[in-house]
Structure 1
Amino acid sequence: MALLKRALPGLVALVVIAALGLVWHVHSKRPQRDGEIRLDRLAAPVQVRYDEFGVPHISAQNEVDMYRALGYVHAQDRLFQMEMLRRVARGELAEVLGPKLLETDRLFRTLGIRAHADEAAVRLADTPAKRALLAYLDGINQYQATRPAPLEFELLGIPKRPFTPADTLSVVGYLAYSFAAGLRTDPLLSEVRDRLGPAYLKIFDIDWHPDGVLHPGLRPGDRQDLGRLAALSEGVAGLPLLEGSNAWAVAGRRTASGRPLLAGDPHIQFAVPAVWYEAHLESPGFELYGHFLALSPMALLGHNAQFGWSLTMFQNDDLDLIAETTDAAHPDQVKVHGEWLPLRRRAETIAVKGQEPVMLILRQSPHGPIVNDALPAEIRAGSTPIAMWWAWLETENPIVDAFYALNRADTLDKARAAASGIHAPGLNVVWANAAGDIGWWAAAKLPVRPPGVNPAFVLDGAGDEADKPGFHPFEDNPQEENPARGYVMSANHQPMARVPVPGYYNLWDRAERLDELLRDPGIRWDSANSRALQLDVQTGYAARLLRPVLPLLLAATVQDPAQDPAEDRALLQELDAWDGRYTTGQRAPVLFQQLLYEIAHGALADELGEAGFEQMRRTRLLDFALPRLVADPASPWWERRGATPAHATEAQVVRQAWRDALAHLRATLGADASGWTWGRAHTLTHPHPLGQQPLLAKVFNVGPFEAPGALEMPNNLAARIGPAPWPVVFGPSTRRVIDFAAPGQALGINPVGQSGVWGDPHYADQAQMHVRGQYRQEHLAEDDVAAHTRSTLVFTP
C-alpha cells in the first residue's frame, strides 16, 4: 500500500502529461488563421481575414495568387474531405479502409470515372480556368507538404500524395454519378415490367411499349446482379450524394425592395464536414462570395454586388443500361445492327489494405462500359453483358471553363453562355442580377433517342433502342428569361420542354407549394418571407395520399368498433384532422409516415420480395407510386401473392397497415402515445466517414438533433420511406437569400461548420442554427468584413 501511495503521484503525472500531449497533438492540426505563411510561387502578398464563423475573405493582387491562397486555406479546413472524395470517385477507398470497400471500388472503376478523368485532364486547354485550377491545386499541395497530416490520415494510415487536375475531374464524375438514378431505377422497372406485367407499371406512370421488351437473353441471374449494383450505387456514409434542391429568383416588380431577389437551398446528403466550403474572393476586376466543392476552385454557388446564382438538379435521364447480345461463336464480341463488334478490355489494379492487390479486367462495348463486370465472376449470377451509356463519358463537358465563366456572369448573355457549357451532370441554373434580369436554364447535353424508346427500362443493344444519333441544341433545353409572371423557380420537377426530356424527376408537390406562394400577387418578396418559404413544412402530398385512405379506415371503425380501442380511434381522428405540417411537436406526422410505410410494404413487398422492396423504397419511384396506388382500388398490387386466400382488397390491406403501424410505434417509441412526437422520431445526425464505428461515431459525428420538415417539403429534411424512427438522410446543404437591393446583407447557413478538423471551434458551430432554421450574414461589403474580422493571415512570396 505504501508503495502504491509513493507511485500514485508519478502515475497521475504520466496521465496528465499524456493528456496534455494528446491535446497539443490535436491542437497542432488545427488551421492557422493568423500570422504569416510563406507560399511558393506567389507574385505578391495575399491577405486572408477570417470572420466569426471561420469564413476566409481573401484579397489578392492578381487572380492566380487568389486561387493559390484559396487552395491552401481550403485544404487547412478540408484536406481529409478532399482525400476521401477523390478516393471514392477514383475507386481507391479499399487502400485505406480495407476489403469492405472493395465492392465500392470495383463499381467506380467499372463506371470509368477514373480512366475518363485521366484522359480529360490531359486534354485540358491552356485557359484562365485551367490556370486557376493549377494554382488552386498547388495551394492544396503546398499545405499538405508542409503541415501535419489530419488526424484521420494518422488513424487510417493514409499516405500523402499530390492532388492533380484528374482528381478534380474525378470528383465532378462522382457528382454526375450521384445524379444518375438510372443505375438504381432502370433494373427495378424492368423487373416489374418483365416479371409482373404491364398492369403493375401503372402506379409508376410508365407506359408499356411492346416494341421495347427487354433483351430476351436477360435471365433472373442478370436481374439479381443489377440489383446488387443498385445497392452498391447508393454511396458511402459521410461522402454526400446530391438529392434535389429549391431555387427561385423574383423580379424587382414582385419584391419589396424593387430589386431582384435570389433564394436557393441545394439538397444533399448530410455529412461531416458539410459539402460546401465558403470563401469570399477578391482580386483586381473580380469579387465573389462563393460556395466551393472539395477540389474545385470555381464556386458552384455564388453572388456579389452585381449578380448571383443557385443550382438545382436537372435530373434528366442521361444514363442508359443496355443489354448486349453475345453467343458462343463470337467470343468477346457483341451484336449491334447485325454486326459483331469487339469488346475492348482494360486492366486496372485496386490496392486493398491488409491484402494483396486485386486485378480487374474491365470490358467496354460500343455502348459503354460493361457495368456487371463490377461484380466478381465467382458471385455473378448472370451472363448477359450490361453496358452503360452515360452522358458524362460521352460529351466534351468543359465544365471547369463553364463554371469559371459562371463565376463572372453578370449579364443574361454571359450566364446563358456559361450554362450551355455544362453538359453533365444536368443542372438547373437559377440566376439574377442587380440590373433587374432573372433567368433559369436547364443545363445539360440532351441526347437524341430513337422515337418510342423509353430509357426508364434496360434497353436492347442489338437493335436501334440504344442508339444516340446526337444531342439536341442548347436552345431546345427548358429555359426562361425575364418571364411575364415575374419569377423563375426550380424544385427538381419535370419542366416543360420543346423536346422530350425523360428523367428521374421529383414529385411535383414541393414545386407546386413553392409556385402557389410565388405566384400570389399580394406578396412582395423580401428576405423574411423568403426565409419562411425555405423553412415551410407543408405540401399537399399527405392530403393526396390520405384522401382515399382515411375513409377506408374511418368506415372500418364504424363497422367494427370493438376492434379499435378508444385510444386508436382517437389517433385516427387526430390523423384525419391533421393539416399536413411537419413540426417537431406534432404526433400526426409520425402516424402518417408509419402508415405510409406499412401500406407500401403490405401492397408491394409480396410481389417484389423483401430485397426488391428495399431497393424500391430507396428510390423516388415509391414516392410517385403510392398516391397512384391508393387512388386505384383495382390495382393488382393489392393482391396477396403467396398468401391464403390470395384475394385481398385495398380496404383490407390499408386496415392491416394501420394496425401494424400502431403496433410498430408502440414497440419502438413506447406504449405512451403522447411521446410519439415528430422531433423524437425524426432526427438529424451528420455522419463522418469514420463514424460508422460506434466509438468513433461519438467523437466525429455531429448530432442527433430533433428535426422538422420531411421528404419533399420546402424544408426538405428528408428521411427515406421506412419504419420509425426516421434518421434524416439529406436536406438543405445551405440556405441562401440575396436581395440585390442589399447584396452585402445576404444570408446563409452551413449545416455543420466551415472546418472539417475535429476539435476546431468551427467544426460544428452552425449545426444547431441550421436545424432550427436560423441564418447568418454572408459578409461582402468591406465595412462588414472589417467589423467581423476575428483574425488575419498573410501569405508572403
Structure 2
Amino acid sequence: MSVPSETITLDGLDSPAEIRVDHWGVSHLRAASEADLFFLQGFNAARDRLWQIDLWRKRGLGMLAADFGPGYLAQDHAARHFLYRGDMAAEWAAYASGAEAICQAFAAGINAYVALTEAEPGRLPPEFALFGTRPARWQAEDVVRIRTHALTRNAASEILRANVLARSDAATDALRAAIEPPTGLDAAPGIDLGAIPLEALRLFKLATAPVTFEPARRAATLDEAWRWTEVTDLGDVVRATTEEGSNNWVVSGARTATGRPILASDPHRAHAIPSLRYLVHLSAPGFDAIGAGEPAVPGISIGHNGTTAFGLTIFGADQEDVYVYETQAGDPERYRYADGWEAIRRIEERFNVAGAPEQTLTLSFTRHGPVLHEDPVRRQAIALRSVWLEPGSAAYLGSLSAMRATSVAEFGAALTHWGTPSVNHVCADTSGTVAWYAAGFTPIRPNWNGLLPVPGDGSHEWAGFLPAEALPHVVNPAEGFFATANEMNLPADRPADAPSIGHEWIEPSRAERIKGVLRADDRHTLEAAGALQNDVQSLPAVRLCALLAALSEDRDRAVAEPRALLAGWDGRLAADSAPAALCEVWWMKHLRPGLLEVLAPDPAVRALLLPGHVESLIRLLEQPDLCFGPDPAGARDRLLRATLARAFADLCRRLGPDPSAWRWGDLHHGYFEHAAAPIRAQSERTEWDVGPLPLGGSRSTPAHAGYRLSDFRVTAGASVRLLIDVGNWDASLCINAPGQSGDPASPHYGDLAPLWATGRYVPLLYTTERVEDATSRLIRLVPPR
C-alpha cells in the first residue's frame, strides 16, 4: 500500500536520505553516511519541534529579549552567566571523536529546515506568527555552550540549608533534605550562615527558569525590565530537585520469561507540550540506534543500538558549590584569595531588545564562577562553582560516545566522557551481560562535604574529579537485576573515608516498591515491566494507614467515617479510588502541614522546609519524640485524628458529600498547557493544550505523578517510557506524552496522551521490514543536482 510522500531538495546533504514517520509519530532516519545522518537529525528535529528548539536556544544563549521585549532582559542576563566560556578545543574533545563535526552537521540540518520555512512559509509553526518572530540560524557551538537546561545540584540546597541552620538546627533541616551517608553540618571557619541571603538564589533561579508569556511581561517597558527577576518561585526550584528524577531497571535473562535481558527506563521531568523528550531512529552504515533524547541535542541517551540497550536516571552526585568571599575594605571590586586580593572579573555584553534600544549589561565572575550576590555593606560576595563551567559538561552529550557501545564493557568505558547530569546508567547487551554504572563529573573535596557554603579564599578547592571507574558500578549483579529511582544507592561497603560523592537523594519509597516487585518476579516480562512503570502503589500511604489502624476506636463520626474509608485499603493510588483521594488530600494538604507546624513552629523556617522529606516526616510520625511535647504518642494521635477529620470535610467540599463517588483522578489530572496560552484570545487559549487526563499515582509511586497543591494538576513525572527486549528489538515498546510533534496541526501533537495516561504503549520498531510496514509518511531528501 502506498503512503503519502514528498521529496525535498536540501543543500548540505551529500547523498539521498529518507525520513519514515510511523503510525505513532516516531521518525526513522536513514542516511548514506554519519555526516548526512546527523544533518538529517537536525533537519527532522526542526521539522517536528522548531518552535521548541528555537526557544531552547534563545533561552539558553540569553537572546529572548530580542524576540519578546524588555520583560525578558533580566532572564537573558542571568542565562549568560552560565554559558560555557572555556576553550572550545577542550570542549569538543571531551565528548567523542568527531563531536564537533556531528554538532556542525546537526546545526546545518536545523538551518536547512529554517531555510525551507523561508521558501515555504506554510511550514512554519504557528507560534512564530502569534509572536511575530522568526526562527534563528544555529551554530555548532550553540548545542554545547548552553548548560542551564540540565539538572545539577546542590547550590540551592546549600543556601537553603544555611538559612535553616541560621534559624534552627540540623534535625529541622533533615525534615527538608535527609543527609545520607550521615555527616556533619558545621559551618566552615569564617562563614556566618545568617549572612547568606535567599536572594543569592535569584540569578540561578532566573537562569534555569522556563520561559513564560504573561501579558504583563510581554508588555513590560525597559523601565520595568528588572521587575521580571522572579519568574519562578523558590518552591519551583525545590520541587524540581524532588520531582525531576526517574526510574530504571535491568533484569538478567536468568530472571525473564524469554531468557533475554529486559531494560526499562522512564525519566521524570516537568511536563510540557511538546514533551522534553523525542523518540527517533538513527540509521547509517555502521550505526543503527533508536530511542529518546532531547530534540535540541544530537544522538540518543536512552534506547539501544542493536547490540546494547541503555537507560538512565538521576544519580545524586554533588556537582556544585557556593563560595563566600570577603571583599576588600574600600574596594568592593576585589576579594580575598590566598594571601592577596583578586579583582572580580566584569564582562560587558550587548543585548538586543525588541522595541527598545540595544542594552549593555555587566556579567560578573570570580575565579570560581558567576557572582550570585554582592553586599558592599557586609563586604561580602557570593559565587557559584559548577561542573557546568568545565569542558564536557553539556547535558547528555556524553551519549555521543556511549550510544555507540557494542557491549556493556564498551558502554562502561565510554562513560569517561559523561559530564552532566550525573546519572545511574543501566545497560544490557545481546551476550546477556547486564550492569549499572554511576556517571558524571564528581568533584573531589579534600576538606569538606559540599553541604554548606564555604570560603572562596582558596581554603576549599576542588582537587579534580573522581575517575569514572571510581564511581560505583556493578556488572551482572548477584540478584539478577539492578534498579534505581534516585534513592541513596552508594554501596554499603564503600569505605567511610572514600571521597564524598553526594549526601542528598530522593526519598526511597519508589525504589523500595520497584525492587520489591522485581525480587518477587523471577519470570519478568515486558508486560510486567510496563505494569511496574505504571504502578501506583504508595508505600507512604500504607504506612500512614497503619498508624490510623493502630489508634483506639473513635466514636466521633468526623474521624470514624474517614477511618472506615481507609480501613483495609491497599495503598494503591488508582485514578478511580476514593481512599486514594482521601489519603493524598489528608497527607499533602492537612497532615504534612500540621506536622511541620509542630516540628518547626517558626513560619519563616517552615517555609524553607517545603515540600518536606517524606521519609523523615513519616518516620517521626511512626516514632514520635519530644518535638511533639511531653506526651509524644498522644500528641501524634491527636494530630492524626484532627487532620484526618479536616481532610474528610475538605473532600466533601471538593467532590461532594458521598464518599463512594469520590475518585482520585477527579482531582489529580495530567494537563499539558502550551506556554503561549496566557496571551492567546480567550476563545483560543486552550486549543493547543492537551488534557485534562485523570491520573493515579503521586510523587511516591513508581508511576511518578507529582502535582501542584492548588488544583492537583500533575506537573512532573514520566513523559517518555521505554521497555526494551534485548535481542528481540521489534518487541520493544515505548510511549511519549503528549505526542511526538510540537506542531499543533500535526496528528502526532497529542495523539499519545490518552495511551500514556492509561498505562499503554506503542511499538518501538527497529528492523527495516517492520519500519517500512508501519510507515504512515515518507519524506525523501535529495541533494541538489
Q: Sort the TM-score into its range (normalised by shorter chain).
A: 0.7 to 0.9
- Counterparts in 2 of 1:66 and 1:463: CA distance versus 1, 3 Å: closer
CA shift for structure 1 position 312:
0.8
Which runs of no fewer than 5 residues in structure 1 stay unpaired? Answer: 1-31, 641-647
Task: Give the Cα separation in 2 of the matches to 1:125 and 1:485.
Answer: 33
More deviation, 484-493/115-124: 115-124
**What RMSD in Å do the two structures reach over aligned CA positions?**
3.1
* Partner secondary structure for residue 148 of structure 2: helix
Specify every segment of 5 or more residues in structure 2 that has no aligned partner in the other structure, as ranges.
Answer: 214-235
Indicate the percent of aligned positions where both proteins have the same amino acid: 29
Counterpart pick for 2:699 among 711, 715, 718: 711
Shift in alpha-carbon separation, 1:159–1:793, aligned structure 2, 3 A: closer
Taking a change above 3 Å as real, the CA distance of residues 130 and 635 of structure 1, as seen in their structure-2 partners, is farther
Q: Tell me the SS of whatever aligns to 2:426.
A: strand
> What amino acid sits opposite 2:644 in the alignment?
W
Q: Deviations over 1:499-548 (max 9, x none)?
A: 3321431111111111112223x521121111111111114222334544
1:326 is paired with a residue whose SS is: strand
CA–CA separation in structure 1 for the residues paired with 2:159 and 2:748: 43
* Structure 2: distance between partners of 1:795 and 1:255: 42
Secondary structure of the 2:437 match is: strand
What's 1:46 paired with?
A: 17
Name the amino acid aligned to 2:504. Y
1:621-644 deviations in Å (ceiling 9; x for gaps): 5334322332343354x589xxxx
Q: Which moved more, 1:774-783 or 1:86-95?
A: 86-95
| Structure 1 residue 787 corresponds to structure 2 residue 773 | yes
- The 3 A distance-change label for structure 1 pair 600 and 228 is farther
2:778 and 2:654 map into 1 onto residues whose CA distance is 51
The answer to whether the 8 A contact 2:163-2:198 is kept is no
- State whether residues 322 and 384 of structure 2, in contact with CA within 8 Å, keep that contact through their aligned partners in structure 1: yes
Alignment of 1:685-764 (within 5 A): 685-693=671-679, 695=682, 697-720=685-708, 722=709, 725-764=711-750
In the TM superposition, 1:424-503 aligns within 5 A as: 424-451=420-447, 453-462=448-457, 464=459, 466-497=460-491, 498=494, 499=498, 500-503=500-503
CA distance in 2, matches of 1:690, 1:214: 49
- Aligned residue for 2:531, secondary structure, equals helix
CA contact (8 A) 1:545 1:626 kept: no
Provide the C-alpha distance between the structure 2 equivalents of 1:236 and 1:487, rounded to a whole number of angstroms.
37
- Counterpart of 2:594 in structure 1 is 602
Q: Return the offset for 1:108.
A: 2.2
Q: Which amino acid in the other structure matches residue 631 of structure 1?
A: E
Amino acid in the other structure paired with 2:418:
I
| 1:235 maps to 2:216 | no
Query: Matches of residues 448-597 of structure 1 in structure 2 within 5 Å?
Result: 448-451=444-447, 453-462=448-457, 464=459, 466-497=460-491, 498=494, 499=498, 500-520=500-520, 523-548=522-547, 551=550, 554-555=551-552, 558=554, 561-562=555-556, 564-565=557-558, 568-597=559-588
- 1:79 pairs, out of 26, 32, 50, with 50
Residues 537, 702 of structure 2: 8 Å contact kept: yes
TM-fit CA distance, 1:449: 1.2
Alignment of 1:2-41 (within 5 A): 34-41=5-12
TM-score, length basis structure 1? 0.85
Query: Equivalent residue for 1:155?
Result: 130
Equivalences for 1:307-386 in 2 at 5 Å?
Answer: 307-372=308-373, 384-386=380-382
Contact 2:17 2:782 in 1 (8 A): yes
Q: Which residue of 2 aligns with 1:139?
A: 109
Q: In 1, Cα distance between the equivalents of 2:444 and 2:679?
A: 46
Equivalent of residue 104 in structure 1, options 64, 71, 75:
75
Q: Give yes or no for the alignment of 1:678 onto 2:678.
A: no
Give the match's secondary structure for 2:707: coil
**1:154-176 CA deviation, whole Å, 9 max, x = no partner?**
212223321122321144x1343
One-letter code aligned to 1:542: A
Give the counterpart letter for 2:596 in structure 1.
Answer: L
* 1:230 CA drift (Å): 7.2
Residue among 197, 205, 214 paired with 1:223: 197
* Range moving further from structure 2, 688-697 or 677-686: 688-697
Contact 1:265–1:733 under 8 Å retained in 2: yes
Q: Give the secondary structure class of the aligned counterpart of 1:331.
A: strand
Q: Distance in 2 between matches of 1:599 and 1:629?
A: 12
Deviation at 1:391, TM superposition (A): 1.4
User: In 2, distance between residues paired with 1:666 and 1:98?
Assistant: 46
Question: Counterpart of 1:734 in structure 2: which amino acid?
Answer: V
Given the superposition, is the C-alpha separation of residues 273 and 170 from structure 1 closer, same or farther in structure 2, using an over 3 Å criterion?
Answer: farther
Q: Secondary structure at the match of 1:145?
A: helix
| CA displacement 1:186-218 (0-9 Å, x = unmatched) | 222222211113442354444674642585455
Q: Deviations over 1:276-313 (max 9, x none)?
A: 22222221122111323122121111213322111111
Contact 2:91–2:391 (CA under 8 A) maintained in structure 1: no
> Deviation per CA, 1:665-723, whole angstroms, max 9, x where unpaired?
33433444344311001000012221344735402211110011211311112225x36
- Find the aligned partners of 1:580 and 1:572 in 2 and give their Cα distance: 14
Distance 1:156 1:485 in 2: 55
Map of 2:62 onto structure 1? 91
1:442-468 CA distance string (max 9 Å, x none)? 1112211134x232222333473x321
Q: Distance in 2 between matches of 1:504 and 1:90?
A: 30
Amino acid at match of 1:764: G
Query: Runs of 4 or more off by more than 6 Å in structure 1?
Result: 117-126, 237-242, 380-383, 398-401
**Cα distance in 1, alignment partners of residues 666 and 71 from structure 2:** 33
SS in 2 for 1:346: strand
- 1:757–1:684 CA distance, 2 compared to 1 (3 A): same
Q: Provide the C-alpha distance between the structure 2 equivalents of 1:569 and 1:231, rounded to a whole number of angstroms.
A: 45
Tell me whether 1:665 sits opposite 2:658 in the alignment.
no
Partner of 1:29: none
Q: 1:185 aligns with which of 127, 151, 157?
A: 157
Query: For residue 160 of structure 2, what is the amino acid of its counterpart?
Result: L
Post-superposition shift, 1:99? 4.3
CA–CA distance in structure 2, aligned partners of residues 328 and 550 of structure 1: 64
| Structure 1 counterpart SS, 2:613 | helix
Distance 2:341 2:130 in 1: 51
TM-score (norm 2): 0.86
Are the aligned partners of 2:191 and 2:454 in contact in 1 as well (CA < 8 Å)? no
CA 1:290–1:60: 2 relative to 1, 3 Å: same
Question: How far apart are the structure 2 equivalents of 1:272 and 1:116?
Answer: 33
